[in-house]
Amino acid sequence: MRVAVIGLGTMGAPMADNLIKAGFEVTVHNRTRGREEPFQKLGASRADSPAAAAAEAQIVLTCVSDTPDVEGVLLDRERGVINEAKPGSLVIDCSSIEPEATRRMAQQFRAKDIGFVDAPVSGGSEGAIKGTLTVMCGGSEEDFERAQPVLQVIGSRVTRIGPVGCGQIAKVANQVVITGTFMALAEALTLAYRAGADPERVVEAIGGGVAGSWILNNRSQKMLDDDYPLGFRLRLHRKDLGIALATARDVQVPLPIASLVATIEDSLIAQGYGDEDMSNLARFIRHGAGIPDGPMKA
């Protein structure tokens, strides 16, 4: 099976790598063309455009930053996937974008007998590298089954939520949950430190109770060290929060925590911290508590 992978960023690059290792014939394309070179050395083909990448592929996997980027990759009149993808092929979009835009794009592909699955992911760069992502899918049962050979390589938990667009709705819910968890962890660690407890021992203690979570296990050390390598970029989480808040307005659901954190993220981005891991939300709490930059040590 030939798979085209379009978008070789923090998440897309390890997806392509894992597909090559799994024995797929892979064609890659990235807007910054130099990112294709390591994959060519691993045996992948390179394509000059998304359309060219899709021309011989049974499955096209896309993973880019935002709704306009996906629309450009898939629907551009000259370079878009839709121009060269063959009837009977399948698009899997792993980007995190607006649910309604996903539905509109899927309709255009269905009109050409091309399947479509929205499959946003969670699990950070670590999960992408290990192939253990959580994949939230929207699409027909038939298209979901056709996508399984690829999805099982990139993820360890792959769930069909419902029709096209439901994967993006699940991702919206996921981002709302992690918003509150990151913020609460930043508050808790700063409180423990300021009140005189060893915050590393606090992490050890509460990790075995109800407060335990993936975020506590994998991101508390970044907050304690005041060092925020990726991870997941803060500015991309802010983009996802924007989608969540817009979706909530459409269906009239209040999101007070997400709304507050969006404002805090805007401040951090304005200060130049948008390309750090989103665990840098701890900066806001630390600065508010008057804690100087650097590790929090007992």
pLDDT in tens, 228-259: 998 899 999 999 999 999 999 999 999 999 99
185 shares a domain with 81? no
How far apart are alpha carbons 203 and 221 in whole angstroms?
A: 9
Burial class of residue 269 in the structure, from the number of CB atoms within 10 Å of its CB (0-12 exposed, 13-18 middle, 19+ buried): middle
Position 208 in a domain: yes
Tokens of 228: 């925020």
Same domain, 224 and 273: yes
**pLDDT per position as a tens digit, 3-27:** 999 999 999 999 999 999 999 999 9
Q: Is the same domain home to 10 and 113?
A: yes
The CATH code of the domain that includes 66 is 3.40.50.720
Q: Of 163, 179, 195, which residue is a domain's last?
A: 163
Q: How far apart are CA 294 and CA 19, in angstroms?
A: 39
**Active-site residue list:** 171
Of 101, 132, 163, the residue at which a domain comes to its end is 163
In a domain, 293, yes or no: no
Whether this model's pTM surpasses 0.85: yes
**Domain span at residue 256?**
169-288
Which segments of the chain have a pLDDT < 70?
A: none
Q: Give the count of domains, the chain.
A: 2
Verify that 152 and 198 share a domain, yes or no.
no
Query: 217 and 147, same structural domain?
Result: no
- pLDDT at position 297 is 86
Q: Does the residue 109 lie in any domain?
A: yes
Could you give the CA distance from residue 37 to residue 260 in angstroms, rounded to a whole number?
42
For residue 245, tell me if it sits in a domain.
Answer: yes
Round to whole Å and give the CA distance between 5 and 21.
14
Residues 191 and 157 in one domain: no
Residues 11 and 134 in one domain: yes
